[in-house]
Structure 1
Amino acid sequence: MTMEYDVIVIGGGMVGASLARALSGCGLKIAVLESWPLDSKRQPSYDDRAIALAYGSRLILEDMGLWSPLALRVAPIRDIHVSDRGQFGFTRLNHVAQQVEAFGYVVTAHDLGAVLLKDIRSHDDVVLYCPARMISFQIDDAGVRVQVSIDGQTRTLAGKLIVAADGAQSAVRKNLGIGAREWHYGQAAIVANLTPGIGFQGATAFERFTDTGPIAMLPLPDKRYGMIWTVDQRYLDEIVSLNDQAFLERVQRRFGFRLGRFQQAGRRANYPLYLMLAQDIVRHRAVLIGNAAHAVHPITGQGFNLGIRDVAVLAEVLRSAHRSGTDVGDIGILRKYANRRKKDQQTVALVTDGLVRLFTNPLWPIELGRNIGMLALDAIPLGKYLLARQFMGFGGHLPKPSGECFE
């Protein structure tokens, strides 16, 4: 038996589920395949790590009708403090000075996933197959056919477009024969949610650069901070093996006492860091979004924000095509998406890669230059404004999934 759809999304993580929601209600029938059970605590897409949502991402989520149920689960970022450990340079960004409500918000991946999955399951035009595993797919002029294993049985899904939202090691991308440019940093990110002491500062996010890599602290709604600590891969095993007390002491030495003495660490996880850009993000009847198209260093917290902008542009393009009666799998339509996303994807990749190289360079002229640069930035309102706009996701055209654009 073959089940017919318009769009088949491979991957029901944050980006794939967001696309399904963005396309719902426009007349397209969408299937989403997710390999992990919905209630699995091991689901890597919906764990407890902190996700930074740029203000621009909030606008996109509002347009999708997701912000209202999410608002009670987020913490605002109203101030940002950037410093270089052991050096004199620092920069502070304040939401009042920039005349914005907040630079962004922080939510756990678990809470974002709960809102997304509850929402898409309420739409009749979205079918979520979970757990389900893609076995293979074929593309021809007539459409796409995807062989899927569901409950131990092989089924066939037919559609007009296959969307790869299956992560940085995307099986769809590889089977399409699309190569990728990769650069491995020799680093890993350790993530955990920490309970600070009396130094809890509510809506302030911290980015502290150290000689072993940056450490970011993002405020969470429950008076905890989400930590993303970049470490040299050579020291990862030793740090991961520390007990909670020794781990907190190591974090304290790296970060300092701006949040008081850390009291407790939640579950820890780690993952390798590398830069990846797919050599192309579209084929006839196939498109890549999120980490299947690009993976960037978490130094500026732009990973999911880049992915949700992919979602917004693709949804806008596909909705417009469907309204005009155009085949949503047509390569000309998909090339519009690719052309509109190219600059943003490349800019974020270049900026994050440049910051990693700048702040891990031990040469004293580079150290001196970056500290002078941070002090100068702290004193120049225009520089702060441009930095804030980039952090908020307003570096360029910000689309609405519904088919309009934000001012």
Structure 2
Amino acid sequence: MILLNKIIAIVAISVVVAGIISIPAITEQFVDAGSRKKIHFTQTITSSQDPGQGHESHQLALILSPNTGTLYDGSITYTASEPIQIVVLHEIPNTQAIGQPTWTVDSETIYGLSLVKPGISAGSFEFTGAALALHTTNTEPFSATVSVDGWIRGQPTEVIMQKIEAEKEAEPTLLLSRANVPATIPLHIGTFDGEPVYYIITDSNDETHVDLITEQQEWKVELAPPLSNTPKEALQTVYMFTDGVDGDGIHGYQDEVFSSTPAQTDEYSALASVTNISWKIGQVPEVLNSTQAIIGAEQTGRITFEDTEVVINMPQIIWPEGQMTVKDNKTLTDDMPYGGGQVLDINKDNMTATFIAHRGWGPDGKTIYYIVTDATPLGPAEMMGVTDAPTSANLIANAAAVDLFQFQ
């Protein structure tokens, strides 16, 4: 018998919006519909020398290969080892190849070339064309994991390493993606009470901050409008400086200051309400590295507060009194136990944290991956090896959270 348990504990504040991290859906499914085929797959690829004439010094990772009479239409989500460009090729007659960027291997079959320059190493893009690839002007190979969801019109012979047979199968082929995959996320450094705090940023309700942080950390932050519904009881405060001493903060000034860490069990939340700090004219800026220092500067008329409606998911990985549990056994399998820690590695030199991303299904039935950073009550938090965050109980039955169902 299959038992369905609705998890009341708010596991993974990152689950507030399903699929908040940029690990793409990894379902490989092909549905025959005559000359129109559904395609949905994920593949990790390594680039090689671009075979296009005039591009020999570039690197190209071909995702959807060009085939005469074939048109691809859909979306791609990708994460790469370095910032990349997206290439979309268009089948055109040779007589129309003058006056536009083109790509060809043999000078006989010529494609129109659209070169999209997102300048980031992770993101999403909608496309329509005769071929799809990732590209850099560098000479060294890069690697990337791509997820494609779309349709193929025509009769393609190859999609990366996936073969699509021309004859109709009795049943659609369905290959499930890996149940657990590593997700490496950039670390940021902030302060609490004068001590360093290392944290990640996964999603926000504010598009401006989403775009700013995505560009800054070169790892996609998801837009999550439901976070606007987060009750105050489930939020801590993060102070961001919009001027003052130059530094590595979100706005290019000093590091962010948190009002609590997991050591303050009854106050800590991964979800933070943003208060902007600016220095008054005539004041000499200095680093304020604690809530007390900030409040003191405001009371003496040196700075001004601006409370905002911005909510950012900022789970703390290392704080003055401790850190998240790092899993001892780092081998990922489909049937590995859920407990024992959700972090595979914390690298302060490279400023990254690697989590276990678990497979799930979104409300539309598509595969998503999610990470778990904190939970409540204490029992599930200890079992999973994540931060105990009792304030998350205020999210139960709130529109800022979504239900997560587990099957046993």
TM over 0.5: no
Q: Scaled by the length of structure 1, what TM-score is found? A: 0.25
Q: Scaled by the length of structure 2, what TM-score is found? A: 0.25
Q: Which has the larger radius of gyration?
A: 2
